[in-house]
Amino acid sequence: MNTFDVIETDRGLIKMWTRGVPVEDGAKTQLKNIADLPFVHSHVAAMPDVHFGRGATVGSVIATKGAIIPAAVGVDIGCGMMAVETTLTADQLPDSLATMRSAIEKTVPHGNGRGGNWGTVPDRATNRFRESGLGHALDDLRSKHRWLEKAKSLEQLGTLGGGNHFLEVCLDEADRVWVMLHSGSRGIGNLIGRSFIEMARRSIEKRFLDHYLPDKDLSYFVEGEDDLFDEYVEAVGWAQEFARMNREIMMERTLHVMRGLLPPFKTAKTAINCHHNYVEREHHFGDNVWVTRKGAVRAREGDLGIIPGSMGERSFIVRGKGNPHAFQSCSHGAGRVMSRTEAKRRFSVEDHVQATEGVECRKDASVIDETPAAYKDIDAVMAAQADLVEVVHTLKQVLCVKG
């Protein structure tokens, strides 16, 4: 049984997996704006974590024919999740996890300031960057886009960033230890995203099409008519691979720290490493289309994915059901229920301490905007997408590093 509702717009459709979870009016307006665009294929799919974003909502899946909207990918290109199961069990963890949190924080740069970058880039990161071909590909991109010359790349490869990015040690339903993290393409991906959003706006204005758009942030590139279309696909593809490698390096360094502090352990042969801000060519409803997932995870039948809760709530390892109505997708998390400013106004440090009881994490004013109550109820979010994924493992963090 499908669990989505259908909203008809002037020219299109929205299928919403939001039963039992709040959706603000601004997000609904954005969804309608997108659904009415002439190149949207079939409908727009809204995930249960959907909320207001720049131009396009976070938590939406948009299939398009012959066009791509850079703002529908966003500025945190390639942002996603990675999780690894270990052979460790809860009884092998120390009573106090403060030492391990401190060691991880010293090993994985985190935050948006100067301390969030490498002072000296580790050889492992440099070698991976070069051997993968990302270094040569970046040189090619910089030859076309001089504004990329000053962008940080290696300085941030293997770093967490800030905001809602995190690194956690978790326990599953059998008390097995997992390591899970959330990050993306860092500063260089942000620069690529912001720059192409602006270039799309200028391109639309030159064609005198901007007055047809309900929101200028929905400006787009036309396939086959605009050289910037191919350049954007190339740049965003590079950022997606950079983001994937970024997560891999952080995971390696975190596991190395844990091996120095805990009994010997092994990890699963296959880790889950999935994007939730990206665009790819796919086939849906009889056509080859560009699918943009902004705050959504691909969930083809059998695909493993990760849906995290907030820093005090449960997270889920899921297996996709391949629901065609959702373009084989699911939510990327709980989704914010209020802005960061509102969370800081409404909640105190004491509220945050209570909400994160039992988790070794920062409990100060600088992380109030990430407190669990700023997010939707993860159980309601999971219930709303029961026809998109099945739960394989339920994780509860015991240690959380925030940017």
What are the CA-CA distances from residue 252 to residues 43, 83, 125 (Å)?
40, 11, 11
pTM: 0.95
Length reported for the chain: 403
The contacts of residue 79 (CB under 8 Å, 6+ apart) are: 165, 182, 183, 184, 185, 189, 243, 275, 276, 277
The contacts of residue 107 (CB under 8 Å, 6+ apart) are: 253, 254, 256, 257
Fold of 5-337+375-402: tRNA-splicing ligase RtcB (3.90.1860)
Q: Which amino acid is at 41?
A: H
Delimit the domains of the chain by residue range: 5-337+375-402
If DSSP states are collapsed to H, E and C, what string results for 262-275?
A: CCCCCECCCCEEEE
Look up 332 and say whether it is catalytic: yes
Listed residue (109, 224, 204, 197) closest to 156, CA to CA: 109
Catalytic member of 41, 332, 352, 393: 332
Sign of torsion over alpha carbons 57, 62, 64, 67: positive
Residue by residue, pLDDT tens for the chain (403 residues) are 678 999 999 999 999 999 999 999 999 999 999 999 999 999 999 999 999 999 999 999 999 999 999 999 999 999 999 999 999 999 999 999 999 999 999 999 999 877 899 989 999 999 999 999 999 999 999 999 999 988 889 999 999 999 899 999 999 999 999 999 999 999 999 999 999 999 999 999 888 777 788 899 999 999 998 889 999 999 999 999 999 999 999 999 999 999 999 999 999 988 999 999 999 999 999 999 999 999 999 999 999 999 999 888 899 999 999 999 999 999 999 999 889 999 999 999 999 999 999 999 999 998 899 999 999 999 999 999 999 999 999 999 999 999 7
